Structure 1
Amino acid sequence: MSLIYLVAGARPNFMKIAPIVRALQQQSALSFKIVHTGQHYDRDMNEVFFEELGIPQPDIFMGAGGGSHAAQTAKIMVQFEELCIAERPAAVLVVGDVNSTLACSISAKKLNIPVAHVEAGLRSGDMSMPEEINRLVTDSISDWFFVTEPSAVKFLQKEGKSDDAIHYVGHVMVDNVLFQADKLTTADTSSYETAAFKAGMAEQGGRYGVITLHRPSNVDDAVMMTRIAGALKEIAADLPLVFPVHPRTRANLASFGIDLGPNITLMGPQAYMSFLNLWKDATVVLTDSGGLQEETTALGVPCITIRENTERPVTVDEGSNVLVGTDPVRIVAEARKVLAGQGKQGRRPHLWDGKAAERIVEVLTRELARLQA
């Protein structure tokens, strides 16, 4: 039985590998181990978190910790190399575009261990984003590319990748959000902080919007953060907004002297199910997140992305996402369209049907059998 290492370094990575784990558990040709690099420490990543995802706790925890991009990547590379030498997996599967994705790909490839990249081929064209560098380098050495949308296929082909190595399978994040949304229909949500907020909103008509902002270009610059905050306050005059705030963003709001006003409710970062419980019923989501652009498209929730570019254009071309940049006038105008019932409807893209992980496992089973033969 061929052993595959499934690599995750941060909480969103586990949401991407969870459907793959569930698919692997349904077959007998491949075995797997979950490797947590420890790139991010998250207090909410407890036993309940893995129970919610329907997967076991990681088999291996490396504890790489923080540091600069170079220091963190180097620590992960050294530890992962030792791991691969000791056990020699048949393949390494990485997801997304974090430093763990890059580091483990390089270590595996230098040991001639095949690398599978899930969410391959996504490109923003913005080389100031560390994630863009991670995506480019990982795809330059991967053996199998599991792709979520047509633009990614085109980028990989343009970069010289063989059509035989590119597999358009759909999206594991969509697999996961559909799985979790279904669980929410029977879950007891009474303990969620977001449930209390929604109950309060129900008494006021039920409509509300959700904000997430974390990109340094938006939240670390006083002028930019002030401009965006002005737009959010203007929208909040017509629609109550709730903002689960990252600690760094909250600190910046305070240091920049930005008051978001009484119509924007601030709360702490939320666990996955609590946050899903919040945004799935929102009138609109205002965000600079990559993953949330896709998840809102999967559930048909209007999304306004406060960025100048996106590596996920299918959410704009086909989904419920609108890319507005950081101009306050455009942000407010798009929100008012949604409130007037004139917002973008969109549809779920091809193969975003909850079965991407099954397709990935089918390809890996076939490819590893071919290599062994």
Structure 2
Amino acid sequence: MGAKFGTQKPVVCVVGARPNYMKMAPILKAFSAHQPPIPFLLVHTGQHYDHAMNAKLFGDLALPDPDVNLEVGSGTHAVQTAEIMKRFEPVLDEHGAAAVLVVGDVNSTVACALVASKKGIPVVHVEAGLRSYDRAMPEEINRVMTDQIADLLYTTEQAAAVNLAHEGIPAARIEFVGNVMIDSLRANLEKAVKASDALAACGMSADAISGPEGYALVTLHRPSNVDDPATLSALVDTLVASSERLPLVFAVHPRTRANLERFGLAEKLAAERIVQLAPQGYLEMLGLMSAARVVLTDSGGIQEETTALGVPCLTLRENTERPITVEEGTNTLVGCDGTAILAALDLVLSSGGKAGRSPALWDGRAAERIAAHLHDWLKRRDAH
């Protein structure tokens, strides 16, 4: 663990939910490899608290066990954010911090950034400056607030600096380093679990995805898509229609599963060419993604991963905070209208979809750049 690197104050690194793990793993590895090593303390807020899946993901990514687990659990946005703040402050009091490093845009990100800022501890935000310009998304609020109070903002794409400049954040606080999600992807691609093996581990036959047309991978979890009965019902109808074109492998999020049952939609999805899986580990998802003909998703991270893999992605949202995946990558925004989704799917199947390219600095070395820059930044700060 990072705390073993000596008496120097650690960089307190925060994770809270699945998307954070893929971003933090390469950062901690780079901190350990840096000369001199950068001491760190890993704090898990427990915002996502499926212990079996947490252990699987930590193992897949070679993440060290958390030094501290706040075990916050679920709750409304206000309750969860407040509970994280209450439990995080004593950790800083006990261990001290050279800085608090947060990633992404979950409630843990903004909650821990607020605590650090109020205590005069520098806040470092990795994946800063991404904007959907949709304030109905809780993640957008988290992104904007975290960036406003962050002392150092590491960006994944150059357009993020433009967003931050519009919000009055000085260029001196911004550093373009690339995408740590892609560090994880590139480091683990050779270890990815074959799609057929992932299905077999769930008791499913690989025959379902062995046809000449390949298969589409599906993920859905955003409240705007799965919490409204009419919206979810329409998306289910579209998935059933899509399965007539090629088989679907649907990794069903717990929130989505619960709503499918609650709204009486589960039976609709019991189609012959729709394979439903429980949430998968990182290496399983990487294998399923890389072998897919196309991916249908509302996930931000998967938009980036499919671009890096060169796999066509249809994003079932009206907007994205990752426009570079549309402008340079393999992503197409299709919204939630069934006709538009099926038309986009037919285009992929007939033409192969967007080829795209990997954006600048999505080269697997973003975490190394963060470690080198942060070490020098903290050294200069200490000298003052």
Matches within 5 A, 1:252-291: 252-258=259-265, 259-260=268-269, 261-291=271-301
Question: Any conservation in 2 of the 1:212–1:289 contact (CA below 8 Å)?
Answer: yes
Report if the CA contact (8 A) 1:194-1:274 is conserved.
Answer: no
Structural mapping, 1:150-169, within 5 Å? 150-169=158-177
- Which of 53, 67, 75 aligns to 1:67? It is 75
Q: Which AA in structure 2 matches 1:157?
A: A
Shift of 1:251: 2.9
Counterpart of 2:153 (choices 145, 148, 151) is: 145
Aligned to 1:42, which of 47, 50, 62?
50
Q: By how many angstroms is 1:242 displaced? A: 1.1
Q: Secondary structure at the match of 2:351?
A: coil
Q: Secondary structure at the match of 1:285?
A: strand
Q: Distance in 2 between matches of 1:65 and 1:218?
A: 23
Structure 1 residue aligned with 2:16, among 1, 6, 9? Answer: 9
Matched, 1:222 2:229: yes
Instruction: Tell me the CA shift for residue 152 of structure 1.
Output: 1.1
Offset at residue 63 of structure 1 (A): 1.0
Structure 1 vs Structure 2 CA RMSD: 1.8
Q: For each residue in 1:317-366, what CA deviation from the matched residue of structure 2 results, as whole angstroms up to 9, or x when unmatched?
A: 00000001111111001111111124111111000000000011111001
Q: 1:47 to 1:134 in 2, by over 3 A?
A: closer
- Is 2:191–2:283's contact at 8 Å kept on the other side of the alignment? no
Contact 1:218 1:224 in 2 (8 A): yes
Superposition pairs of residues 1-373 of structure 1, within 5 angstroms: 1-27=8-34, 28-45=36-53, 47-184=55-192, 192-193=198-199, 199-201=206-208, 203-205=210-212, 207-258=214-265, 259-260=268-269, 261-373=271-383
Change (3 A) 1:320 1:194: farther
The runs of at least 4 consecutive aligned structure 1 residues that moved more than 4 Å come to: 187-191, 194-198
Comparing 362-371 with 54-63, which one deviates more in the overlay?
54-63
Contact 1:7 1:35 in 2 (8 A): yes
TM-score by length of 1: 0.95
Deviations 1:220-276 (A, max 9, x none): 212111222222222211101111112332232233333032221112111111122
**Contact 1:194 1:278 (8 Å CA) reproduced:** no
| Partner of residue 3, structure 2 | none
Partner SS for 2:13: strand
Unmatched segments (≥5 aa) in structure 2: 1-7
Aligned residues of 1:93 and 1:115 also touching (Cα < 8 A): yes
CA distance in 2, matches of 1:36, 1:343: 39
The count of corresponding residues between Structure 1 and Structure 2 is 371
Structure 1 window deviating more from structure 2 (203-212 vs 13-22): it is 203-212
The 8 Å contact of residues 2 and 30 in structure 1, kept in 2 or not, is answered as: no
Equivalent residues of 2:194, 2:284 under 8 A apart: no
Q: 1:306 to 1:48 in 2, by over 3 A?
A: closer
Runs of 5+ unmatched residues, structure 1:
none
Please say if residues 3 and 91 of structure 1, whose CA atoms lie closer than 8 Å, have aligned partners that are also in contact.
Answer: yes
Instruction: Describe the SS at the equivalent of 2:239.
Output: helix
State the SS of the aligned residue for 1:193. Answer: helix
> Is contact 1:50-1:56 (8 Å) kept?
yes
**Change over 3 Å in CA distance of 1:317–1:207 after alignment to 2:** same
Taking the aligned partners of 1:168 and 1:370, their CA distance within structure 2 comes to 19
